[in-house]
């Protein structure tokens, strides 16, 4: 049983990231249908997803169309209780829903001044008072959640839940713009940057189409503060250790080299997303270690 999910540019569409995490982070199969932002692609794709108007929008295997991440989270939690999209403990579940609701509707100053951009990280962006107030509110919420649920994990309400998926784009903004938050909040941000599903999304976002000018800023840059990728490089497709792509099983046509060994893939995107962060991809790492 596979779901369809319409998404925007992975590097920039924070809502799409949130929606996709509700599948990938909980082991639920999903087929993504990408559409380039600031073009007519999204509106054309959504003609088949009435009454949706934006990404992400989900379609169930039975054909029900579900726009908006809050609705997607609730529908998927109902359909897949075994995935524990919301915490099983009633108090932790109530807390997680409070967090997700505020994130869904709030933090407009932060969103406006610091749009999501997973391709760069800056030394700073001179956040105005309204953004600093949003950051203070995040610190308050995150501390309250961990204390009231007695979470002993890096996540807000115990195990990773929809609440954490909802805050992943904010964590990425803090990383991108080097925003000032306290030490506990930064530990939470770092947990997101290291999360396997987030790393996979960002790896795809780094190679998913050209840069969007709307998100360009002239701030001084720094290295991305998340995990450092392995030193792979693109090479010609000769003498690869594998004859079929580790993702699709199709014959290899593109290759990368990592520590002197060559690995093949069925297309440029499969290769390039692996180049971006090889350790984010379990199927590739299984091949690498074989």
Question: Is CATH 1.10.3470 what the domain over 90-201 is classified as, yes or no?
Answer: no
DSSP string, 5-22: EEE--TTT-HHHHHHHHH
Tell me what the pLDDT averaged over the chain comes to: 97
pTM greater than 0.95 (yes/no): yes
Token couple for 58:
């989900």
pLDDT at residue number 102: 97
- Find where tokens 């093949």 sit: 264
pLDDT at residue number 2: 86
6's enclosing H/E stretch is strand 3-7
pLDDT at 1 over 80: no
Interval 222-265: pLDDT, tens: 999 999 999 999 999 999 999 999 999 999 999 999 999 999 99
- Torsions phi, psi for 107 (to 5 deg): 60, 40
Instruction: Give the model's confidence band at 111: pLDDT under 50 very low, under 70 low, under 90 confident, else very high.
Output: very high
Nearest partner of 4 among 78, 55, 77, judged by Cα = 55
| Class in CATH terms, 3-83 | alpha beta
Q: In what order do the strands lie in the sheet with 254-258?
A: 233-235, 254-258, 261-265
Residue ranges of domains in the chain: 3-83, 90-201, 233-289
* Contact indicator for 218, 212 with CB cutoff of 8 Å: no
Give 190: exposed, middle or buried? Use CB within 10 Å, 0-12, 13-18, 19+.
middle
Residue 33 pairs with which residues in a beta bridge? 6
């Amino acid at each position: 049983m596979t779901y369809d999910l319409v998404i925007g540019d992975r590097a920039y569409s924070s809502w799409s990231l949130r929606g996709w995490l509700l599948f990938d982070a909980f082991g639920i199969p999903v087929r993504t249908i990408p559409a380039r932002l600031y073009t007519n692609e999204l509106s054309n794709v959504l003609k088949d997803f009435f009454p949706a108007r934006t990404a992400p929008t989900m379609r169930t295997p039975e054909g029900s169309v579900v726009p908006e991440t809050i609705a997607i989270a609730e529908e998927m939690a109902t359909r897949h209780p075994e995935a524990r999209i919301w915490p099983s403990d009633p108090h932790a579940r109530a807390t997680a829903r409070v967090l997700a609701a505020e994130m869904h509707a709030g933090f407009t100053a932060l969103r406006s001044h610091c749009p999501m951009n997973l391709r760069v990280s800056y030394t700073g962006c001179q956040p105005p008072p309204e953004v600093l107030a949003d950051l203070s509110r995040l610190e308050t919420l995150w501390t309250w959640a961990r204390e009231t649920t007695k979470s002993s994990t890096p996540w807000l309400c115990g195990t990773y839940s929809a609440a954490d998926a909802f805050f992943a784009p904010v964590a990425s903004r803090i990383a991108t713009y080097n925003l000032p938050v306290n030490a506990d909040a930064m530990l939470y941000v770092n947990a997101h940057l290291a999360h396997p599903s987030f790393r996979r999304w960002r790896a795809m976002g780094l190679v998913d189409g050209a840069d969007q000018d709307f998100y360009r800023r002239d701030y001084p840059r720094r290295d991305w503060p998340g995990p450092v990728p392995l030193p792979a490089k693109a090479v010609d497709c000769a003498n690869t250790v594998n004859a079929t792509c580790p993702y699709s099983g199709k014959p290899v046509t593109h290759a990368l080299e990592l520590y002197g060994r060559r690995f093949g893939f069925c297309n440029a995107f499969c290769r390039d997303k692996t180049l971006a962060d090889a350790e984010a991809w379990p199927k590739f790492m299984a091949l690498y270690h074989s």
